Chains A and B, each alone.
Chain A
Amino acid sequence: MSDLPVSHRITTADVVKVAKLARLDLQPAEIERMTAQLDGMLEHFADMDALDLSEVEPMTQPFPLHNVFREDVVVAGLERDEVLAMAPEAEDGRFRVPPIIGIDL
Chain B
Amino acid sequence: MADALPTTAVDIADAVRAGRVTAVDVVERHLAAIASREADIHAFNLVLADEARAAAAAVDAAVAAGRDPGPLAGVPIALKDNMCTRGIATTCSSKILDGWRPPYDATVVTKLAAAGAVLVGKTNLDEFAMGSSTENSAFGVTRNPHALDRVAGGSSGGSAASVAAEFAPLALGSDTGGSIRQPAALCGVVGVKPTYGYVSRYGLVAFASSLDQIGPFSTTVDDAALVLDVIGGHDPQDSTSIPQPHPSLREALRDQDISGLRVGRITDLPEGCDPDVLERLEVAFDTLRAAGARIVDVKVPAFGYALTAYYLIAPAEASSNLARFDGVRYGLRVNAADTNAMYGATRAAGFGDEVKRRIMLGTYALSAGYYDAYYGRALKVRRLIADDFDRAYQSADVLVTPTSPTVAFPIGAKGDNPLAMYLCDVYTIPTNLAGHPGMSVPFGTGADGLPVGIQVLAGTLGEPAMFRAAAALEAASKRSMA
Contact string against B for A residues 35-78, beta-carbon threshold 8 Å, 1 for contact and 0 otherwise: 00110110011011001010011111111010010100000001
Instruction: Known contacts A6-B373, A99-B338; decide if A37 and B434 are in contact (CB<8 Å).
Output: no
Interface assignment of B393: CB less than 8 Å from any CB of chain A: no
How far does the alpha carbon of A40 sit from the alpha carbon of B357 in the complex, in Å?
Answer: 12
Chain B positions 320-374 with a Cβ under 8 Å from a chain A Cβ: 323, 326-333, 335-345, 347-348, 351, 356-357, 359-361, 363-364, 367, 370, 372-374
Instruction: Known contacts A18-B364, A63-B435; decide if A88 and B383 are in contact (CB<8 Å).
Output: no
B339 touches A62 (CB 8 A): no
What chain A residues lie within 8 Å of B380 (beta carbons)? Answer: 51, 53, 56-59
Interface-central residue, A59, A61, A103, by most chain B CB under 10 Å: A59
Interface-central residue, B236, B343, B373, by most chain A CB under 10 Å: B373
A18 touches B103 (CB 8 A): no
What chain A residues lie within 8 Å of B311 (beta carbons)? Answer: 41, 45
Instruction: Known contacts A23-B326, A70-B236; decide if A63 and B196 are in contact (CB<8 Å).
Output: yes
How far does the alpha carbon of A27 sit from the alpha carbon of B344 in the complex, in Å?
Answer: 11
Instruction: Known contacts A22-B359, A103-B338; decide if A88 and B381 are in contact (CB<8 Å).
Output: no
Interface assignment of B287: CB less than 8 Å from any CB of chain A: no
Interface assignment of B378: CB less than 8 Å from any CB of chain A: yes
Interface assignment of B262: CB less than 8 Å from any CB of chain A: no
> Which of B242, B333, B363, B383 is within 8 Å of A58, CB to CB?
B383
What chain B residues lie within 8 Å of A53 (beta carbons)? Answer: 377, 380-381, 384
What chain A residues lie within 8 Å of B6 (beta carbons)? Answer: none
Contact string against B for A residues 78-92, beta-carbon threshold 8 Å, 1 for contact and 0 otherwise: 110011001111000
* Least CB distance, B336 to chain A, in whole angstroms: 6
Q: Which residue of A lies closest to B356 (CB)?
A: A24
> What's the interface size class on B, roughly?
35 or more
> Which of A24, A58, A60, A99 is within 8 Å of B348, CB to CB?
A24
How far does the alpha carbon of A14 sit from the alpha carbon of B197 in the complex, in Å?
Answer: 37
Interface assignment of A5: CB less than 8 Å from any CB of chain B: yes
B361 touches A21 (CB 8 A): no
* Least CB distance, A44 to chain B, in whole angstroms: 6
* Least CB distance, B89 to chain A, in whole angstroms: 11
Interface assignment of B312: CB less than 8 Å from any CB of chain A: yes
> Which of A1, A2, A24, A45 is within 8 Å of B351, CB to CB?
A24
Contact string against A for B residues 233-261, beta-carbon threshold 8 Å, 1 for contact and 0 otherwise: 00010011010000000000000000000
Instruction: Known contacts A48-B305, A88-B332; decide if A2 and B344 are in contact (CB<8 Å).
Output: no
B210 touches A60 (CB 8 A): yes
What chain A residues lie within 8 Å of B331 (beta carbons)? Answer: 86, 88
Interface assignment of A105: CB less than 8 Å from any CB of chain B: yes
* Least CB distance, A105 to chain B, in whole angstroms: 6
A48 touches B360 (CB 8 A): no
A40 touches B364 (CB 8 A): no
Interface assignment of B410: CB less than 8 Å from any CB of chain A: no
A59 touches B386 (CB 8 A): yes
Instruction: Known contacts A21-B363, A34-B360, A98-B338; decide if A86 and B100 are in contact (CB<8 Å).
Output: yes
Interface-central residue, B103, B104, B210, B374, by most chain A CB under 10 Å: B103
Interface assignment of B30: CB less than 8 Å from any CB of chain A: no
How far does the alpha carbon of A83 sit from the alpha carbon of B101 in the complex, in Å?
Answer: 9
* Least CB distance, A95 to chain B, in whole angstroms: 5
Contact string against A for B residues 75-102, beta-carbon threshold 8 Å, 1 for contact and 0 otherwise: 0000000000000000000000001111
* Least CB distance, B444 to chain A, in whole angstroms: 32
B367 touches A25 (CB 8 A): no
Contact string against A for B residues 376-391, beta-carbon threshold 8 Å, 1 for contact and 0 otherwise: 1111111110100000
Interface assignment of A100: CB less than 8 Å from any CB of chain B: yes
Query: Which 5 pairs from chain A and chain B are nearest by CB?
Result: A62-B435, A58-B379, A88-B333, A2-B372, A25-B344
Q: List 9 A-B residue pairs with CB atoms under 8 Å apart, sorted by A's residue number.
A: A23-B323, A25-B344, A26-B356, A34-B357, A63-B197, A63-B242, A86-B100, A99-B337, A100-B339
Q: Which residues of A contact B (CB under 8 A)?
A: 1-6, 10, 14-15, 18-27, 30, 34, 37-38, 40-41, 44-45, 47-48, 51, 53, 56-63, 65, 68, 70, 78-79, 82-83, 86-89, 95, 97-100, 102-105
Q: Please name 17 further chain A to chain B contacts, defined as beta carbons within 8 Å, in addition to the given A62-B197, A88-B333, sorted by A numbering.
A: A23-B326, A23-B347, A24-B359, A25-B348, A41-B311, A45-B311, A48-B381, A51-B302, A51-B384, A57-B380, A59-B382, A63-B240, A63-B460, A65-B239, A98-B335, A103-B339, A103-B340
